[in-house]
Amino acid sequence: MSKLGIIDNLTRVRERIARATRSAGRRLEDVTLVAVPKGFPAERVKEAIAAGVRHVGENRVQEAARKRDELGEIGASCTWHLIGSLQTNKVKAALDTFDLVQSLDRWALAGELNDRAEGLARQVRVLIQVNVSGEPTKHGLRPDEVEPFLGRLGQLESLRVEGLMTIAPLVDDPEQVRPVFRRLRELRDGLARRRWPNAEPYELSMGMSGDFEVAIEEGATLVRVGTALFGPRTEPPGGR
């Protein structure tokens, strides 16, 4: 893909985001675009950053670490989001590379993230991944597990829970996944009525290339966009 390709694609994605926020009566600045360059080299990320991208999402620790290293200061100007599942033995490497972990999906991982973050004398920003659709291939807590999980996380003082994330099923018509996005928002609204020691669960990371307008209409604050920015992937790493 040419350099112009990414600039044009970014313009188009921004227009789609603007249209969706307008139709939902929301403010443009309430939706953050997370560009997902998985499967594409650091050079493409560099072009995206030059075009104005400030948030990068990757689903593999090593791939992201390599790109972030390669990009040096340019890469450091962005916020890096881990959006793929994280093995406990990769937590240390993940904390070296990512500013925010969107895929917190189990207690053991929370404990390991907390211990490592404590060792680094920092807080680690996380989103809780929720498997709203109940697809067996997907990671994430069941919706009814989220509230007790958040309660337990109160013990882990080096974690800061900023919200929820979900991956909707792949469908032809994005209207079909509207209930998934709506459910995540309702869950967030319920949690936001209570006070939590180390959590302010406001963010909703939901929506990808094919369905982010619907996600924005349902309240998404972070949309994760790969294909619509970088083009089709030959080998979808991690898939959906």
Q: 127 or 208, CB closer to ligand PLP?
A: 208
- List the one residue from 6, 36, 184, 216 that touches ligand PLP (CB under 6 A): 36
CA 45/CA 75 separation, integer angstroms: 8
* Residue 225 interacting with ligand PLP (CB under 6 A): yes
Smallest separation, CB 235 to ligand PLP (Å) = 12
Give yes or no for a contact between 81 and 55, defined as CB atoms under 8 angstroms apart: yes
Query: What is the identity of the amino acid at 141?
Result: L
Q: 82 or 146, CB closer to ligand PLP?
A: 82
* Residue 85 interacting with ligand PLP (CB under 6 A): no
* Residue 38 interacting with ligand PLP (CB under 6 A): yes
* Residue 163 interacting with ligand PLP (CB under 6 A): no
State in Å, rounded, how far the first CA of the chain is from the last one: 23
Q: Which residue shows structure tokens 């993230």?
A: 113
Q: Which residue shows structure tokens 């958040």?
A: 150
Residue nearest ligand PLP by beta-carbon distance: 226
- What would the x/- binding string for ligand PLP be over residues 178 to 217, using CB under 6 A? ------------------------------xxx-------
Q: Which residues contact 86 (CB under 8 A, 6 or more apart)?
A: 61, 94, 101, 103, 109
Give yes or no for a contact between 23 and 49, defined as CB atoms under 8 angstroms apart: no
Chain contacts with ligand PLP (rule: CB under 6 A): 36, 38, 59, 83-84, 167, 208-210, 224-228, 238, 240
